[in-house]
């Protein structure tokens, strides 16, 4: 899915990109906007956006549905290593 279509789908649900990232409990809320540079979003974001549109069209509340899911936050990638020994492990 291209980035512009992804944004249109989010708008159809009443969410901004930052709100979507918050619901997905992403550590860096603005990181989704980085996909605008390459022009498309990962498949899993596209699927989630389409399912959210379907839920909204059926009269559901996306915020309530996703807000009730307990997710474990992932650590940001590329945080680096603490020491050289960590690299060798």
Asked whether 52 and 13 are in contact (CB, 8 A), the reply is: yes
First to last CA, the chain: 38
pLDDT in tens, 32-54: 888 999 999 999 999 999 999 99
Is the predicted pLDDT of residue 88 greater than 50, yes or no? no
Q: Residue 3's pLDDT is what?
A: 95
DSSP string of 11-69, one letter each residue: HHHT--HHHHHHHTT-SSGGGGGGHHHHTB--HHHHHHHHHHHHHHHTT--HHHHHHT-
Task: Indicate whether 79 pLDDT > 80.
Answer: no
Residue 15 has pLDDT above 90, yes or no: yes
Reported as a single tens digit per residue, the pLDDT across 55-69 is 999 999 998 888 777
Collapse the DSSP code of 84 into the 3-class scheme (helix H, G, I; strand E, B; otherwise coil) and give the result: helix
When pLDDT is cut at 50, 70 and 90, the band that residue 78 belongs to is: low
């Amino acid at each position: 899915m291209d980035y512009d279509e992804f944004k249109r789908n989010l708008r159809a649900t009443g969410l901004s990109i930052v709100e979507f990232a918050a619901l997905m409990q992403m550590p860096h809320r603005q990181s989704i906007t980085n996909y605008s540079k390459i022009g498309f979003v990962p498949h899993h974001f596209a699927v989630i956006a389409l399912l959210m549109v379907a839920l909204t069209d059926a009269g559901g509340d996306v915020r309530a549905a996703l807000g009730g899911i307990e997710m474990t936050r992932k650590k940001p990638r590329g945080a680096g290593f603490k020491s050289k020994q960590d690299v060798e492990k």
